[in-house]
């Protein structure tokens, strides 16, 4: 088998492997594969049934073909690419259902029509046999391998129930025991209705993963590459770093890169959720998958393949969908012991009905079969992951990237939202109000030092300083090195060995000047800078208060400036002049009082983002802040914060609703079936649609009002 699976070497002894596996339809399937891989001694196992992916690291002597064989023996199939894999006609569950329905319909009709032929045992046997064979191949194979793998699944119950009805009827036919032994229609109907449920379940699960699939479609584009003055059309997967590409009006940008020539308005809605096009000019960065609404440009490819922003977002979403919230552990635990428990209940039902009442063999068997076919462990297995997938997808379409499904539960009862000031509540676009130089120091020389140092930083303040001094007279300075210190500023050394420090801190002694420049530890100048509050910040703070959440301002900026911003926005809890280690202490205090979310954007925020229950980073934040956060706001509009909290709240609510339905359904349905109040065919129909109810409730999240 030639497989296009991803295999990466991690160490000399360890491989990271990713397999595409089809045929998984609920969490029980994922548990079967997970248990198999654990038995083989594999590590870092991740099984995503909806994304049809299996990942693990192999540090043992187990060969990949042996692992693939084990997975396929469980009844699943390892393929090159699920998107390109087309199952054989007879393997498709829709075709199995149609085939079975054709034979099941006449069997059901004999119950209402007086046609003599339909009442003949041999005719019913011949009509039921093809359906039973399909059931054995579909459910029996899966049931056998799931038991062999140590995680019995729902198919075990369906197989036992349908086989019991078939064998009971077959014995009655062979021994000519009469109509009271003819239950071929029960056997066929159970199989057909459960296949119908599988059809709906498959389509519904596909809808829950539509967000990731929509993003994948953005990757499937062609690129116009320039080679020796001619343009050739290639697949975006074949683009290499350094390639020169032409992107025209209406095209999708094939990969990440920088514009070399031309201008365009680019729709970045797939990335940020913001539909207003962004104007791009020479030297601006463009992201693969975004759409050129007007204009055209020539670009150089900088990031391709798995290194593009879009690929990393897709990978992040897949990992997030597989990350289990704590609330799922209960469902998983029950689902793992559910099937053996139901078989035991069915056996007790048969025994009790047969020996303790006058119901007889027929009634006892039908009650036991009803217990088997109405039970549904899949509903419990689907309750959490489907809701998480839809919730994460809705968040992504609103420009909110959540790194883990467990994050959703972590913010459900948020009590405090702690904000950094600069670049979070404020625009981060600073203007220089004044530069105060010390006696005997040349202003142009100061400007040159500031520009040389701040060009080496990505901090919003640094970028604003460089932009603000651009075009003004200044004496250039050549630096040998420059380093950024968290929460303090920049340290540098020029080619002559002079050392410089430019930054904030508790040494500044004048309220209007919040940056100081030192040369060889001697003060050269003080700089007064200021930025503006984001227009939506006040509305956000008011909304948080209405939600019962306490907003907190935590910043390394001067205390008086923090108080000024806090007063404007209505924030009463303020912590200014804080260094990174002090921010950790403040976050720790709030965490002891209740669930705490931290929102920031700078390197100095990274430790606090990690320390908080949930760290939220702005898209234009430093890379360190983005890596430290569990949530990234791709759209810098602060309204995304409320949207994130609302989506998380309603996703958790949906999970609880799903779990309640799954548990309540089984708790009520199983005793009703055991007491003989439920026909097995009605039980099969109810079971077939119990999964659809759970998935349908999850899909409501796509369009549900969140306020």
Please tell me the pTM assigned to this model. Answer: 0.65
* CATH at 52: 3.30.70.100
Domain co-membership, 548 together with 619 = yes
What pLDDT does 353 receive? 87
Q: How far is CA 656 from CA 384, 388, 663, in A?
A: 8, 11, 10
- pLDDT confidence tier of residue 508, bands split at 50, 70 and 90: very low
What pLDDT does 224 receive? 92
Task: Give the residue from 257, 284, 309 where a domain finishes.
Answer: 309
CA distance 550 to 536: 17
Kindly give the pairing relationship between strand 400-402 and strand 631-633: antiparallel
The shares of helix, strand and coil residues in the chain, as percent rounded to the nearest 5, are 50, 20, 30
pLDDT 10s digits, 248-303: 998 999 999 999 999 999 988 766 656 668 889 988 889 888 889 889 999 999 98
pLDDT 10s digits, 623-668: 555 566 788 887 777 888 888 888 988 988 998 898 888 888 888 8
Q: What is the mean pLDDT of residues 487-502?
A: 89
Q: What is the mean pLDDT of residues 72-82?
A: 78
Encode 267-294: b = buried (16+ Cβ within 10 Å), e = exposed: bbbbbbbbeebbebeeeeebbbbbbbee
Encode 198-230: b = buried (16+ Cβ within 10 Å), e = exposed: bbbbeebbebbbebbeebeebbebebbbeeeee
Give 117 or 369, the one with higher predicted confidence.
369
Q: What is the mean pLDDT of residues 518-525?
A: 91
Local structure of 201: helix, strand or coil = helix
Give 40 or 419, the one with higher predicted confidence.
419
CA distance 573 to 589: 13
DSSP H helices, 512-637, are 537-546, 559-569, 580-593, 606-611, 623-628
What pLDDT does 527 receive? 87
What pLDDT does 260 receive? 93
Looking at mean pLDDT, say which of 197-201, 334-338, 487-491, 564-568 comes out highest. Answer: 564-568
Instruction: Decide if pLDDT at 452 tops 70.
Output: yes
- pLDDT confidence tier of residue 552, bands split at 50, 70 and 90: very high
Is 525 a domain residue?
yes
Residue-wise DSSP of 91-143: G-HHHHHHHHHHHHHHHHHTTT---TGGG-HHHHHHHHHHHHHHHIIIIIHHH
Per the CB < 8 A criterion, the answer to whether 245 and 257 are in contact is yes
Q: Can you name the residues that pair with 522 across neighbouring β-strands?
A: 519
Instruction: Decide if pLDDT at 320 tops 80.
Output: no
What pLDDT does 12 receive? 39
Beta strands in 161-255, from DSSP E residues, in sequence order: 222-227, 230-235, 244-247
Domain count across the chain: 5
Least confident of 12-26, 153-167, 667-681: 12-26
Domain co-membership, 422 together with 566 = yes
Local structure of 374: helix, strand or coil = helix
Q: What is the mean pLDDT of residues 591-598?
A: 91
Domain co-membership, 197 together with 344 = yes
Instruction: Decide if pLDDT at 447 tops 70.
Output: yes
Domain co-membership, 475 together with 516 = yes
Domain co-membership, 198 together with 225 = no
Give 319 or 72, the one with higher predicted confidence.
72
Domain co-membership, 623 together with 514 = no
Q: What is the mean pLDDT of the chain?
A: 81
In terms of phi and psi (left: phi > 0; alpha: psi -120 to 50; beta: otherwise), the region of 541 is alpha
Looking at mean pLDDT, say which of 146-150, 510-514, 640-644 comes out highest. Answer: 640-644
Instruction: Decide if pLDDT at 355 tops 60.
Output: yes
What pLDDT does 211 receive? 59
Domain co-membership, 500 together with 572 = no
Task: Give the residue from 286, 309, 332 where a domain finishes.
Answer: 309
Q: What percent of the chain has pLDDT over 90?
A: 17
Domain co-membership, 551 together with 460 = no
CA distance 370 to 25: 23
The sign of the CA dihedral 313, 316, 321, 325 is negative
Q: What is the mean pLDDT of residues 696-707?
A: 84
Domain co-membership, 98 together with 188 = yes
Instruction: Decide if pLDDT at 418 tops 60.
Output: yes
| Stretch (H or E) spanning 46 | strand 43-48
Q: Can you name the residues that pair with 490 across neighbouring β-strands?
A: 484, 502
Q: What is the mean pLDDT of residues 432-455?
A: 88
Distance of CA 94 to the CA centre of its chain: 28
Instruction: Decide if pLDDT at 2 tops 50.
Output: no
Kindly give the pairing relationship between strand 414-419 and strand 550-554: parallel
Kindly give the pairing relationship between strand 595-600 and strand 614-618: parallel
Least confident of 84-93, 100-109, 230-239, 578-587: 84-93
Is 645 a domain residue?
no
Domain co-membership, 251 together with 141 = no
What pLDDT does 619 receive? 64
Per the CB < 8 A criterion, the answer to whether 264 and 282 are in contact is no
Instruction: Decide if pLDDT at 11 tops 50.
Output: no
Name the CA radius of gyration of the chain, rounded: 32
Least confident of 7-21, 149-163, 214-228, 526-540: 7-21
Angle subtended at Cα 183 by Cα 177 and Cα 189, rounded to the nearest 5 degrees: 165
* CATH at 490: 3.40.1110.10
Q: How far is CA 646 from CA 85, 160, 395, 543, 649, in A?
A: 37, 44, 10, 11, 5
What pLDDT does 267 receive? 85
Cβ-Cβ contacts under 8 Å for 12 (sequence gap 6 or more): none
What pLDDT does 324 receive? 60
Is 649 a domain residue?
no
Q: What percent of the chain has pLDDT over 70?
A: 83
CA distance 629 to 615: 4
Q: What is the mean pLDDT of residues 524-542?
A: 87
Domain co-membership, 103 together with 142 = yes
Cβ-Cβ contacts under 8 Å for 367 (sequence gap 6 or more): 349, 350, 353, 359, 673, 674, 675, 676
Cβ-Cβ contacts under 8 Å for 264 (sequence gap 6 or more): 247, 249, 279, 280, 292, 293, 294, 295, 296, 297
What pLDDT does 416 receive? 94
What pLDDT does 109 receive? 78
- pLDDT confidence tier of residue 321, bands split at 50, 70 and 90: low
What pLDDT does 90 receive? 73
Task: Give the residue from 496, 530, 564 where a domain finishes.
Answer: 530
Per the CB < 8 A criterion, the answer to whether 257 and 300 are in contact is yes
Is 642 a domain residue?
no
Domain co-membership, 163 together with 38 = no
Is 249 a domain residue?
yes
Least confident of 113-122, 479-488, 549-558: 113-122
Is 693 a domain residue?
yes
CA distance 194 to 203: 14
What pLDDT does 110 receive? 66
- pLDDT confidence tier of residue 246, bands split at 50, 70 and 90: very high
Structure tokens at 214: 């929509």
CA distance 260 to 533: 34
Containing domain of residue 621, as a range? 405-426+533-629
Is 75 a domain residue?
yes
Instruction: Decide if pLDDT at 97 tops 60.
Output: yes
CA distance 308 to 471: 34
- pLDDT confidence tier of residue 493, bands split at 50, 70 and 90: very high
- pLDDT confidence tier of residue 98, bands split at 50, 70 and 90: very high
Per the CB < 8 A criterion, the answer to whether 491 and 476 are in contact is no
Write out the catalytic residue numbers.
420
The residue with tokens 């922003």 is 309
Is 400 a domain residue?
no
Per the CB < 8 A criterion, the answer to whether 20 and 81 are in contact is yes
Instruction: Decide if pLDDT at 215 tops 80.
Output: no
């Amino acid at each position: 088998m030639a497989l296009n699976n991803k295999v990466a070497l991690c160490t000399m002894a360890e491989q990271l492997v990713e397999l595409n596996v089809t045929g998984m339809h609920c969490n029980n399937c994922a548990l079967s594969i997970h248990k198999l891989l654990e038995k083989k001694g594999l590590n870092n196992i991740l099984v995503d049934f909806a994304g049809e992916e299996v990942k693990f690291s192999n540090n043992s002597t187990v060969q990949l073909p042996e692992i693939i064989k084990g997975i396929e023996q469980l009844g699943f199939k390892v393929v090159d690419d699920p998107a390109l894999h087309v199952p054989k006609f007879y393997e498709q569950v829709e075709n199995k259902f149609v085939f079975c329905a054709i034979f099941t319909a006449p069997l059901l009709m004999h119950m209402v029509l007086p046609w003599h032929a339909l009442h003949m045992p041999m005719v019913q046997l011949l009509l039921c046999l093809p359906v039973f064979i399909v059931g054995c191949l579909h459910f029996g194979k899966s049931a056998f391998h799931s038991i062999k793998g140590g995680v019995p699944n729902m198919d075990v119950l369906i197989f036992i129930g349908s086989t019991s009805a078939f064998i009971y009827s077959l014995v009655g036919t062979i021994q000519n025991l009469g109509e009271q032994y003819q239950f071929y229609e029960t056997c066929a109907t159970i199989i057909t209705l459960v296949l119908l449920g599988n059809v709906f379940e498959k389509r519904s699960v596909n809808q829950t993963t539509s967000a990731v699939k929509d993003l994948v479609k953005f990757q499937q584009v062609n690129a116009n590459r320039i080679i020796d003055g001619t343009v050739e059309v290639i697949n975006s997967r074949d683009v290499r770093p350094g390639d020169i590409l032409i992107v025209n009006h209406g095209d999708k940008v094939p990969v990440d890169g920088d514009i070399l020539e031309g201008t365009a308005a680019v729709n970045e809605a797939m990335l940020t959720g913001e539909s207003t096009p962004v104007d791009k000019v020479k030297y601006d960065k463009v992201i693969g998958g975004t759409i050129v609404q007007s204009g055209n440009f020539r670009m150089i490819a900088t990031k391709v393949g798995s290194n593009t922003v879009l690929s990393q977002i897709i990978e992040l979403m897949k990992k997030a969908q597989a990350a289990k919230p704590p609330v799922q552990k209960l469902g998983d635990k029950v689902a793992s012991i559910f099937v053996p428990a139901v078989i035991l209940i069915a056996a007790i039902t048969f025994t009790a009905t047969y020996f303790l009442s006058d119901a007889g063999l027929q009634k006892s068997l039908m009650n036991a079969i009803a217990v088997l076919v109405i039970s549904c462990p899949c509903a419990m297995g689907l309750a959490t992951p489907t809701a998480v997938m839809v919730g994460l997808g809705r968040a992504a379409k609103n420009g909110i990237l959540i790194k883990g499904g467990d994050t959703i539960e972590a913010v459900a009862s948020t009590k405090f939202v702690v904000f950094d000031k600069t670049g979070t509540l404020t625009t981060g676009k600073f203007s220089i109000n004044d530069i105060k130089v010390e006696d005997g120091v040349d202003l142009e020389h100061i400007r040159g030092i500031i520009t040389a140092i701040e060009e080496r930083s990505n901090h919003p303040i640094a970028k604003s300083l460089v932009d603000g001094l651009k075009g003004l007279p200044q004496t250039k300075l050549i630096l040998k090195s420059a380093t950024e210190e968290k929460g303090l500023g920049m340290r540098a050394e020029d080619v002559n060995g002079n050392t410089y420090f430019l930054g904030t801190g508790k040494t500044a002694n004048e309220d209007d000047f919040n940056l100081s420049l030192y040369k060889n530890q001697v003060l050269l100048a003080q700089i007064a800078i200021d930025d503006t509050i984001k227009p939506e910040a006040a509305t956000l703070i008011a909304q948080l208060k209405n939600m019962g959440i306490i907003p907190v301002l935590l910043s390394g900026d001067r205390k008086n400036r923090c108080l000024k911003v806090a007063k404007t926005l209505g924030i009463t809890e303020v912590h200014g002049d804080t260094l990174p280690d002090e921010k950790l202490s403040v976050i720790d205090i709030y965490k002891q009082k209740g669930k705490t979310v931290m929102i920031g954007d700078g390197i100095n925020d990274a430790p606090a983002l990690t320390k908080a229950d949930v760290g939220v980073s702005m898209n234009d934040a430093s890379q360190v802040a983005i890596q430290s956060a569990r949530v990234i706001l791709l759209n810098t509009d602060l309204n995304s914060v409320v949207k994130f909290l609302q989506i998380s709240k309603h996703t958790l609510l949906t999970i609880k609703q799903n779990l309640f339905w799954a548990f309540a359904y089984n708790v009520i349905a199983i005793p009703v079936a055991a007491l003989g109040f439920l026909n097995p065919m009605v039980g099969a129909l109810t079971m077939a649609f119990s999964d659809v109810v759970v998935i349908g409730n999850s899909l409501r999240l796509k369009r549900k009002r969140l306020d």
